[in-house]
Amino acid sequence: MVNDKIDFISLKELLGVTDGNLASHLKNLEKKEYISFEKDFVDRKPNTTYMATESGKRAFKAHINAIESLLK
């Protein structure tokens, strides 16, 4: 996790996925309460920004630790 928050368009471009694919994954992360979001307007356009929750950060760290253990 490099960024504290990131908007939908930037995240989509970073990952190279479609709108629908990203929206589906984000919805699942929201259900697990791993991410939260804020909706606002930038230059009269809707903008959604996503942030990792504390629970999400813990889950991500546990995932990274599990991968590192497998690699040892």
Residue ranges of the domains in the chain? 5-71
Average per-residue pLDDT for the chain: 94
> 26-38 pLDDT, tens per residue?
999 999 999 999 9
5-71 sits in which CATH class? mainly alpha
Q: What's the confidence (pLDDT) of residue 1?
A: 65
Q: Supply 26's token pair.
A: 């984000």
Q: Supply 10's token pair.
A: 């930037």
H helix or E strand, kind and range, residue 40: strand 35-42
Q: What's the confidence (pLDDT) of residue 2?
A: 72
